[in-house]
Amino acid sequence: MDDASYLPTMSRRYLKYLIAVTLFTASILIFLLHDHRMIRIGNFAYFRSNPTYHQLQNTHTLSAREDMSVNRVLKKAAMEDNTIIVTVLNAAWAKPGSVLDQFLESFRIGDRTLRLLNHLVIVALDMEAYKRCKMVHRHCLSVSTPGVDFSGKNNFMTDGYLKMVWRKIDFLGIVLQKGYNFIFTDTDIMWFRDPLPIFYLDGDFQISCDYFRGNPLDIKSNIPNSGLSYVKSNNRTIEFYKLWYASRLKYPKKHDQDVLNLIKHDPFVQEIGLQIRFLDTAYFGGLCEKSKDFQKVRTMHVNCCIGLNRKVLDLRVMLEDWKKFLSFPPSIKNSHSAFWSVPKNCSMQSIN
Tens-digit pLDDT profile for residues 220-232: 999 999 999 999 9
Domain tally, the chain: 1
| Res 27: pLDDT | 59
Answer yes or no: is 13 within a domain.
Answer: no
Answer yes or no: is 55 within a domain.
Answer: no
Q: Which residue has the higher pLDDT, 60 or 98?
A: 98
| Res 277: pLDDT | 98
Peptide bond into 343 cis (omega under 30): yes
Angle among Cα 48, 37, 50 to the nearest 5 degrees reads: 20
Query: How high does pLDDT run on average in the chain?
Result: 84
| Res 328: pLDDT | 86
| Res 269: pLDDT | 93
| Res 103: pLDDT | 98
Q: What is the mean pLDDT of residues 122-148?
A: 89
Confidence of residue 212 (pLDDT cuts 50, 70, 90): very high
Q: Which residue has the higher pLDDT, 336 or 169?
A: 169
Q: What is the mean pLDDT of residues 93-118?
A: 97
Instruction: Give the list of residues 6+ apart from residue 80 with CB closer than 8 angstroms, or none.
Output: none
Q: Which domain holds residue 114?
A: 64-335
Rounded distance, CA 322 to CA 336, Å? 13
pLDDT beyond 90 at 131 = yes
Answer yes or no: is 30 within a domain.
Answer: no
The CATH number of whichever domain residue 197 belongs to comes to: 3.90.550.10
Rounded distance, CA 306 to CA 288, Å? 12
Answer yes or no: is 351 within a domain.
Answer: no
| DSSP element (H, E) containing 69 | helix 64-77
Answer yes or no: is 258 within a domain.
Answer: yes
pLDDT in tens, 300-340: 999 999 889 999 999 999 999 999 999 988 877 776 667 89
pLDDT beyond 90 at 6 = no
Answer yes or no: is 42 within a domain.
Answer: no
- Identify whether the C-beta of residue 87 lies closer than 8 Å to the C-beta of residue 186: yes
Answer yes or no: is 6 within a domain.
Answer: no
Answer yes or no: is 46 within a domain.
Answer: no
